[in-house]
Structure 1
Amino acid sequence: MIDFWLAAGLLLLVALSFLLIPVLRSRRAQREEDRTALNVALYQERVAELQAQQEEGVLDAAQMDAGRAEAARELLADTEGVEAPRVSRLGKPLPLLAAILVPVLGLGLYLHFGASDKVELTREFAHAPQSMEEMTKRLERTVAAQPDSAEGVYFLGRTYMAQDRPAEAAKMFERTVSLAGREPELLGQWAQALYFADGKKWSDKIQALTDEALKADPKEVTSLGLLGIAAFESERYQDAIDYWNRLLAQLPAEDNSREALQGGITRATEKLQDSGGKVAQAPAAKAAAVLKVSVDLAAELKAKVQPGDSVFIFARAVSGPPAPLAVKRMTVADLPVTVELGDADAMMPQLKLSNFPEVQLVARISRAGKPTAGEWIGRSQPLASSTTAPQTLTIDSPDK
């Protein structure tokens, strides 16, 4: 901060110079005015002496006129080059008062509206923290300086959780949700913090948060893990196994938490068997659906389209949401083309081909590049999403 205040001091000196220079100039003008007055007084005294000598008969009229002219020339020589006095409308006290008030007001306004705290935080974050406590203090000051920063509030909540301070973490996650929206991940972490803050007691609010998170994203890992923990604590071991198996399927093979999660599933299995229960087998996963389709343009339309026009090839559910289940984008220049539409092309995780028994294939040409509206279209008859035979689709109709 020292270099910042040095720069501010230099700028302040520049500002003061504009205020003090007129004051110094007025003092110089005053000195020149005083000297001129003195010369005039000397001239008048010289003229009086000449008149006295004339009255005494020492000087005649011609000598009197010559002496007066000589005195006038000396006065003119002494005052030549002196600027005419300027009268300041502001007066002398006002610039001096401004010179005092400018730095005081400037400092006060900067301390009130400025960002010295943010400057200091930026300098601090340039160096790695030496401890978790130091990192926490930095994040707390960041949140205080930038209360509308969702990222800062979120990371402070994560830090509180790492320090086993779930009640404070829950408040931070609630603020994050209000700033960034009801994202599934944020809802899951908010619910988790509330659960541990309440001494591992389940509540309607926690249930509502996890339900909302999993409805938006069935793979939300924090909610799945939390529901498994709550089920295990309440001795609902089969539910715990199911939730943790769903979570295990989402984790990468190299994730370090897989081992601990597998240990939890093993303990829940043992508890269930010890109580006389039997572990229910998870239903077999559906095979991934893949549809192979060849798309071409009707001959009568080839003169009406342009090579750069967009071509959207997609599958949508016959009975279900209107959003495409899988989509590929090409251009007219690519036609004819053969593509595969499958679960890997799903626009949303919960909208996969394999989740809907019957679909329709659609190919649309859109000069504006919009998948929802265009100039020409081709549609197939409804077919099973499990169809493996190659399909053919021709773009041949106006898009209405």
Structure 2
Amino acid sequence: MIEFWLSAGLLCLVAVSFLLIPLLRGRKVQAEEDRTALNVTLYQERVRELEQQHLAGTLDAAQLQAVRDEAARELLADTEGSESRQARRLGRAVPLMAVVLVPVLAVLLYLQWGAIDEVEQARTFAGEPHSIEEMTVRLEQAVRDNPKSAEGWYFLARSYMAQQRAADAARAFEEAVKVAGREPELLGQWAQALYFAADKQWSPQLDALTSEALKADPEEVTSLGLLGIAAYEEQRFADAIGYWERLVAMLPEGDPSRQAIAGGIARAREELDPQNGDKAVQASQVGGLQVRVELAPALRDKVQPSDVVFVFARAAAGPPMPLAAKRLTVADLPATVSLSDSDAMMPQLKLSAFDQVQLVARISRAGDAKSGEWIGQGQPVASSTQDVQRLIIDSADGTQP
């Protein structure tokens, strides 16, 4: 910050120097005015001497008038331009007041509307940190300089969590909530930090925070995940499954945490029903049903790269709606996708709940999963199979459901 204030001070000195110029010029004008006044006094004394000489008879009237005219001309020559300079002259008070007020007003206005906090924060974060510890130190300095920065407290809390400093993270999240308000995301992450800081012991405060977060946003992912973990630790496996299934349904496809959550759901199901747990685990493990989707060569000129491809599994004997589905485009083909309980379309209809499923791939230019232009269908297979299933899109899509 020293460099900033030095630069600002130099700029103020430049501005003040322009205000001092009229004051310095005023001194020169004053000197000229003093000389003019002296000339006028000398002229008046000269006129009085000439008049005395005229009374004494030394000068006649004509000579007196001639000498007086000559003295007047000399006075006019000496004082020429002094009036215009006097008209342009500033008073001393105005420049002196400006010299004092300009720096003071500049500082006050900058403190009111300037961006000193942003300048300091940019200076703090200049350059890439070499470690998470260095990043944490920078964030700690940033919140000391600007304790009203919700972003600073939030990222500091995340940094603490990454270092497994849950108690420090909880305090930082609390400060972020004080600044930013009781946002559902902040409440959920605050509760998560408190939970791990208390060695995974549930408390009324955690219950209040997660309830408030989910009331404001039923899809707040951190609260759902935390409630599932707490329920699993307390062996309330049905509750854990319910929270985690809600969470999985909200996560986007390709999210790496989906598979981990699906594994947790499978373990909770196994705890509830050990006899059927193996089947649930198989369907929810990494990979699930592996499907290799290809486009028949005869159709390559009849589709567009942007056409949507739906790959789904439905019960071989049961409801017609898909149990699990993935969405691709023709440009992605050929592709290998996995279908598991984490891709369920409806929480109550899981892939692992059916012994036999049929795999279908449909191309729909309009993006409609229920009807399209081309389709490929496989024979019923066991939902727990680990073999890669090959699916070729090669037929016109008619009235297939």
State the TM-score bracket (shorter-chain normalisation): 0.5 to 0.7
Give the alignment's TM-score, normalised by structure 1.
Answer: 0.60
CA–CA distance in 2 between the matches of 1:298 and 1:67? 122
Once the two structures are TM-superposed, the CA of residue 13 in structure 1 deviates from its matched residue by 0.9
Tell me the equivalent position of 1:25. Answer: 25
Structure 1 Cα separation of the partners of residues 325 and 275 of structure 2: 38
**Aligned-pair CA distance for 1:67:** 1.6
Work out whether residues 288 and 343 of structure 1, in 8 Å CA contact, stay in contact via their aligned partners in 2.
Answer: yes
Q: Secondary structure at the match of 1:325?
A: strand
**Per the alignment, in what secondary structure is the counterpart of residue 84 of structure 1?**
helix
Change (3 A) 1:139 1:102: closer
Mean alpha-carbon deviation: is it higher for 207-216 or for 139-148? 207-216
Q: How many residues align?
A: 339
Q: Which amino acid aligns with 1:78?
A: D
CA gap of 1:117–1:168, structure 2 versus 1, over 3 A, is: same
Q: 1:10: Cα distance to partner?
A: 0.8
Unaligned 5+ residue runs, structure 2? 242-255, 258-266, 314-319, 352-356, 382-388
Closer, same or farther: CA 95–210 of 1 in aligned 2, 3 Å: closer
Instruction: Kindly provide the CA deviation profile for residues 199-219 of structure 1, in whole angstroms up to 9, marking residues without a partner as x.
Output: 82345447759999997769x
2:174 to 163, 171, 174: 171
Change (3 A) 1:285 1:133: closer
Q: How far 1:138 sits from its partner (Å)?
A: 2.0
Contact preservation (8 Å) 2:308, 2:329 = yes
Alpha-carbon shift at residue 327 of structure 1 (Å): 0.7
**Structure 2: which amino acid aligns with 1:285?**
Q
- 1:84 offset after TM fit, Å? 1.2
For residues 221-232 of structure 1, what are the structure 2 equivalents within 5 Å? 227-228=231-232, 230-231=233-234
In the other structure, the counterpart of 1:340 is 335
Other structure's SS at 2:147 match: helix
**Which residue does the alignment assign to 1:268?**
none
1:165 offset after TM fit, Å? 4.4
Does the 8 Å CA contact 2:293/2:392 hold for their aligned counterparts?
yes
Superposed, 1:72-151 pairs within 5 Å as 72-80=72-80, 82=82, 84-87=84-87, 91-124=91-124, 137-138=140-141, 140-141=143-144, 144-149=147-152, 151=154
Partner of 2:9: 9
Between the aligned partners of 1:338 and 1:156, the Cα distance in structure 2 is 40
Q: Is the Cα–Cα contact under 8 Å of residues 378 and 395 in structure 1 kept in the other structure?
A: yes
> Please, which of 380, 384, 387 is the counterpart of residue 375 of structure 2?
380
d(CA) in 2 for partners of 1:160 and 1:298? 53
Note if contact 1:166-1:197 (Cα within 8 Å) is conserved in structure 2: no
Q: 1:70 to 1:24 in 2, by over 3 A?
A: same
Check 1:319–1:358 CA distance in 2 against 1; reply closer, same or farther (3 A cut): farther
Query: Which residue of 155, 178, 200 maps to 1:152?
Result: 155
Aligned-pair distance for 1:7? 1.0
Contact 1:54/1:61 (8 A) holds in 2: yes
Q: Which amino acid is 1:310 matched to?
A: S
Q: Sort the Cα spacing of 1:209 and 1:45 in 2 relative to 1 into closer, same or farther, 3 A.
A: closer
What do the CA deviations read for 1:128-172 (whole angstroms, capped 9, x no partner)? 899999667425415615235574353366389617447525525
Identity of paired residues, percent? 29
Give the CA RMSD over aligned residues.
5.6
Q: Is the 8 A contact 2:358 2:380 kept in 1?
A: yes
**Correspondence list, 1:167-316, <5 A:** 168-169=171-172, 171-172=174-175, 182=185, 187=188, 190-194=191-195, 196-197=197-198, 200-203=201-204, 204-205=207-208, 227-228=231-232, 230-231=233-234, 236=235, 282=278, 283-286=280-283, 287-294=288-295, 310-315=306-311
The equivalent residue for 2:251 is none
Q: 1:192 to 1:155 in 2, by over 3 A?
A: closer
